[in-house]
Amino acid sequence: MSDKRKILIQLDSDPQPSVFDRVVAIDAGADEVFSYGGVRPEQVRDLVHGAIFTRGPKDLKRTALFVGGSDVAAGERLLAEALRHMIPAFGLRVSVLLDANGANTTAAAAVRAAARHLDLKTARALVLGGTGPVGQRVALLLARQGTEVRVGSRQEAKSAATCTAIRAKVADGKLEPAAAGTPAEVQAALQGRSLVIAAGAAGVTLLPRSVRAASPGLRVAIDLNAVPPLGIEGVEVSDKGKEGDGAVCYGAVGVGETKMKVHKAAVARLFESNDQVLDAEEVYALAQSF
């Protein structure tokens, strides 16, 4: 068995690499965290080479990459670039986790919460703020489970583009765009839905209480916004499976506990083999244990 220290190499697109991600890495079992901030795609090759050319293939599972930063699109570019510079034919690769802005672990925890109360294969969902990094991943994970997903946005064209992007990954995904910029539009989009997940921007209410009251079929309401005013009026930030206005409610802190467990499990998983790429769906698979 390898006795090399477990090294997590943090590639963060923000100038200052996230302290949050470093602390979680240590708590998840990394012995050392090498943090790089302001990482640009053209710098990734040398960082990956430093990771894969130092230890022999049998020890490379003790080295892994974590891609973070507040800009999820930038994180996706860093992940793609990192994978491009691995050399799997010679066993020269390391495992990678993408969790820029906490998007993958948050979406996985939210969908896991919904799955505790609904059969996702038959559920019908509305994802508010469904075009953002977290919302897109929520919609992807739900579509993969067979849920009928309406992707809400202030601009229907934007949600149509999100649906198209998700269908490229889930060909049989049941997705439809929905305008959700006004209370009347949200009310229409919520018709016939058993699940709503609000993944809108921090500090913006997307679902007013009056609209919820007009949607008696709603069984589960999950809000990921922790900054007042909250995303779903009537769902408290610490709600965790609490009944409210006829639905089971989760707030951002309620979901956040599972998110933390998933985040730690995902980092720990990196050190089990050197060939893993943990993006939304792989992270959701890990969330099944919580």
Ligand X SMILES: NC(=O)c1ccc[n+]([C@@H]2O[C@H](COP(=O)([O-])OP(=O)(O)OC[C@H]3O[C@@H](n4cnc5c(N)ncnc54)[C@H](OP(=O)(O)O)[C@@H]3O)[C@@H](O)[C@H]2O)c1
Residues binding ligand X (CB under 6 A): 101-102, 106, 129, 131-135, 153-155, 158, 199-202, 204, 224-226, 252, 255-256, 259
Least distance in angstroms from the C-beta of 101 to ligand X? 5
Query: From CA 170, how far away is CA 156, in angstroms rounded?
Result: 20
Least distance in angstroms from the C-beta of 252 to ligand X? 4
Least distance in angstroms from the C-beta of 176 to ligand X? 15
Please identify, using beta-carbon distances, which residue of 43 and 238 lies nearer to ligand X: 238
CA distances from 259 to 26, 44, 118, 266 (A): 16, 27, 19, 10
Please identify, using beta-carbon distances, which residue of 9 and 262 lies nearer to ligand X: 262
Please identify, using beta-carbon distances, which residue of 171 and 228 lies nearer to ligand X: 228
203: helix, strand or coil: coil
Phi (first) and psi of residue 208, to 5 degrees: -70, 155
Least distance in angstroms from the C-beta of 100 to ligand X? 9
Phi (first) and psi of residue 114, to 5 degrees: -60, -40
Least distance in angstroms from the C-beta of 171 to ligand X? 24
Least distance in angstroms from the C-beta of 133 to ligand X? 4
- Dihedral sign computed on CA atoms, order 178, 200, 139, 190: negative
Least distance in angstroms from the C-beta of 194 to ligand X? 21
Please identify, using beta-carbon distances, which residue of 45 and 116 lies nearer to ligand X: 116
Please identify, using beta-carbon distances, which residue of 118 and 134 lies nearer to ligand X: 134
Phi (first) and psi of residue 140, to 5 degrees: -60, -50
Q: Which residue is nearest to ligand X (CB)?
A: 132
CA distances from 271 to 20, 207, 264 (A): 20, 41, 12
Query: From CA 167, how far away is CA 173, in angstroms rounded?
Result: 6
Residue listed under structure tokens 């066993």: 91
R_g over Cα of the chain: 20
Please identify, using beta-carbon distances, which residue of 109 and 248 lies nearer to ligand X: 109
**Helix axis angle, 103-115 to 252-270, nearest 10°:** 120
Least distance in angstroms from the C-beta of 214 to ligand X? 20
Of residues 283, 285, 286, 280, the one with CA closest to residue 137: 280
Please identify, using beta-carbon distances, which residue of 18 and 225 lies nearer to ligand X: 225
If one counts every other C-beta atom within 10 angstroms of the C-beta of residue 36, the result is 14
Please identify, using beta-carbon distances, which residue of 2 and 155 lies nearer to ligand X: 155
